[in-house]
Every structure is written in structure tokens, then in C-alpha cells.
Amino acid sequence: MDDLWTAYEAWASPVGDSILSFMDPSGGYKQSAIASWPLGDFSTALAVAFGYLAFVVVGTAIMKAGVPAINITALQFVYNPVQVLVCSYMCLEAGIQAYRNHYTFMPCNPYNKANPVMGNVLWLFYASKSLDFMDTVFIILGKKWKQLSVLHVYHHLTVWIVYWLLFRVMYDGEIYMTILLNGAIHTIMYMYYFVSAHTKTIWWKQYLTVLQLLQFVTMNVQGFLVLYKSCPTVPLNVSIAYMVYVQSLFWLFVYFFITSYCGAGRTRHPAAIEKKAV
């Protein structure tokens, strides 16, 4: 097993280096003081992504082969409040640190490579995306197939890789905004899941998707301003890739909103709101 992992690392590490050097041709990512933190290497991040995909494929096949749905209500009763606490902490911590260090919505905020202000909360934010995989685990174990959509899997898989990249190449400054926004959305989202476990009808669930869309719009505006101002601490390729990725999520969520809440789509897709937000 050790030899297999060594061989895998020998292949994956150069791939990760190539991705980083393409995204940040200046090599600024090499000066990161947090690159060696747990989950920071591409080999581990990619292995987690492969593991997630493997569970989706194999787990789905097993559960569809006649295995009865597993009651995970007790687990969710604990999981959702834990997520609320973690997400609200990340949101508050990012906001407090941004305020203390005079960050603003306008781009080109201070960027400390040696001791990044957002380093600790960014790592927690990135690592928490692995906890979010439990959303998929619950869906598969509970055999709630209508919730196992392309959007769901795409979101959970890609957000993990994207935030590995941001953890490595954009680990201070402008990154605070995505932590603050996403932390707030996730706090509301997991509060909704907790309440919905005890209440069949929640009138405001569609407005949660609206908030998610507003989040993506805000992220895109910030990304555009970073490009417009040509912030030296944010590599051009990273800004472009970030905006393209957020756009992909925006339009997928628009499609979900239309098919779930508008016109005929309301009857074709009666499933509960998707468990995701970037």
C-alpha cells in the first residue's frame, strides 16, 4: 500500500505543481507560509476528490441493488447544528479579521505572505468542504435520488478542488469575501435543513436559492473589480478561472430555480431544495 501511495504521489505532485505554476506564473504561491498545512498538497486533495467520486458511483450502485434505505435522521440531527456552528464561526471570523485589518469590498486589500491574516480561517473553510461531502452520503444512504443531481455532485466535487487552489495561490486579501459570504449562506442553509427535518412545509425555502444567486453575483462583481484594478497579489489566471467557475454555478442554480419554482417546472421537480452553496 505504501508503494502504491508513493507511486501515486510521484505522479500527482508534478501535476499539482503544473497547475499552480500555470495559475500563478510569478511563482508567488511558493512563498506561502501555509502551503505545508494538512490537505495542502495536491496529492491529498485529489485523493479526497477521487474518494468522493468513488463513493458516489459505488455507493449508488450498492443502494440501488436492493439495499433498503438507511435512517440517518439521528446523524442529521447532530450534523446540521454542527455545520451551523462551524459556518457561522467562519463567517464571523472572516468578518472580524477583515474589519481589524481594514479590508474593504474594493479590491487590492493587504496581503501578507509570511503571516496571512486569513490563513487560519481559510484553511478551516477549505477543510470544511470535506465535511460537506456528508450531504451526499446522507442522500445516497437515504436513497433520495431526486437530490443526487448533476448540480449536487458537480458542486461538491469542484468546490473542493477550487478551494484547494485558492488555499494555495490566494490565501489572504480578497479571499475574505468568499469565506464571509459562503459562511453566511451555509449557516442559513443548514438551519433550514435542521428545521425542515421537523417541518414539512417551509415557505421561505425558495428564497434560500435567491440568496445563493445573490452570493454568486457578489462574487462575480468582486472578481471583476479585481481584474479591473489588476491587483498584483491576485494572479490574472486565478481571477479569470474564479469568475468562470462562479458563473458556471450561477447558471446551474438559475436552472435549478426555474425548474423547481417557476411554472410547469414546479410540478416536474417537487424534490426538496438542493443541499449546496459555494
Give 45-60 pLDDT, tens digit per residue: 999 999 999 999 999 9
Average pLDDT of 7-31? 96
Residues near 114 by Cβ (< 8 Å), separated by ≥ 6? 31, 33
Q: Is residue 19 part of a domain?
A: no
Cα 249 to Cα 74, 79, 152: the distances in Å are 31, 25, 10
CB atoms closer than 10 angstroms to residue 167: 24
Nearest alpha-carbon partner for 129 in 175, 167, 99, 168: 167
Q: Which domain holds residue 47?
A: 25-268
Q: Is residue 12 part of a domain?
A: no
**Count of structural domains, the chain:** 1
Q: Is residue 96 part of a domain?
A: yes
Average pLDDT of 3-19? 96
Provide the pLDDT confidence category of residue 112 given band limits of 50, 70 and 90.
Answer: very high
Q: Is residue 95 part of a domain?
A: yes
What pLDDT does residue 197 have? 81
Average pLDDT of the residues of the chain: 92
Q: Is residue 236 part of a domain?
A: yes
Give 129-184 pLDDT, tens digit per residue: 999 999 999 999 999 999 999 999 999 999 999 999 999 999 999 999 999 999 99
Q: Is residue 176 part of a domain?
A: yes
Q: Is residue 9 part of a domain?
A: no
- Measured between alpha carbons, how far is 95 from 177 in angstroms, rounded to an integer? 8
Q: Is residue 20 part of a domain?
A: no
- Measured between alpha carbons, how far is 200 from 215 in angstroms, rounded to an integer? 26
**Total-model pTM:** 0.92
